[in-house]
Amino acid sequence: MTAAREHLKTTGFVLRTLSYSESDLIVSFYSHDYGKIKGIAKGAKRSKKRFANVFEPFSLTNIIFTRKSRDMLAFIESCDIIDHYHDIRQDMEKTLIASYFIDLTDHFSPEGKKNENIFLLLQDFLLLLTKEKASDAVVRFFEMRLLKLAGFEPALDCCIVCKTPVTNGNSYYFHAGEGGITCSACNKTQRYEQPVSAGTVRTLLLGKDMDIDKIKLITLTDSLARESRSILTGFISHVLGREVKSLKVMEQVRNLYL
């Protein structure tokens, strides 16, 4: 005799969906209680009543599911919308940024590993995007915080060789392979280094921990925006071993319209 399967409940952000058959979808979520989970939603493509448009990326949902074991596909019994983030979806730039947040979270989260702080990070930054205007600071500070929570925080507070703390006015070099900066005295010529100002380094360090309500007050100058983008996106592709597709889409669209 087999034991009845337990019904598990959680809340989760939709990461992505994959068409499985004519009527079924495979959906990944970043959930509050179980980290990333992947499940099959039977009849999701047919039954509008059972799953009424809940599976759009970055929607926050209540999920009830069953599964035989942690590494097996879950069976999604029901899924209801908590927040569809209507205000974000009304704005193309914000939609692309939210999609990038979701994509990054997906890439940095192994399945089944719970990290409540990553769930809260998504929740905070989607709320920030809802209330405030989109900015480079919002995107870069999300990247810094996610890297930290996922255990890949770049070492930016001092030179990785001589350990001298970052000093205003000095110039530094970022080494994606080592995940940190060197001062100009310690910098040996390497092919993949990127020059970076003390101002950029300090801005990223500040953005990593600052009160989320203060992020709206930060405007990055063009050079700060360019340098911090170059460092972080280069480092992220290095860690993941691939480009993040939604980043490219987001930037192409921003270049067209802004």
Binding positions for Zn ion, rule: CB under 5 A: 159, 161-162, 183, 186
Smallest distance from Zn ion to CB 234, Å: 21
Smallest distance from Zn ion to CB 118, Å: 33
159 or 215: whose CB is closer to Zn ion? 159
d(CA 174, CA 246): 24
Is the Cβ–Cβ distance between 72 and 113 less than 8 Å? Answer: no
86 or 188: whose CB is closer to Zn ion? 188
d(CA 98, CA 249): 12
Smallest distance from Zn ion to CB 161, Å: 5
Q: What would the two tokens of residue 20 be?
A: 């499985």
Distance between alpha carbon 116 and the CA centroid of its chain, in Å? Answer: 14
Smallest distance from Zn ion to CB 197, Å: 16
161 or 253: whose CB is closer to Zn ion? 161
108 or 173: whose CB is closer to Zn ion? 173
Query: What 3-state DSSP class applies to 5?
Result: coil
The residue type of 95 is: T
Is the Cβ–Cβ distance between 36 and 45 less than 8 Å? Answer: no
The residue type of 159 is: C
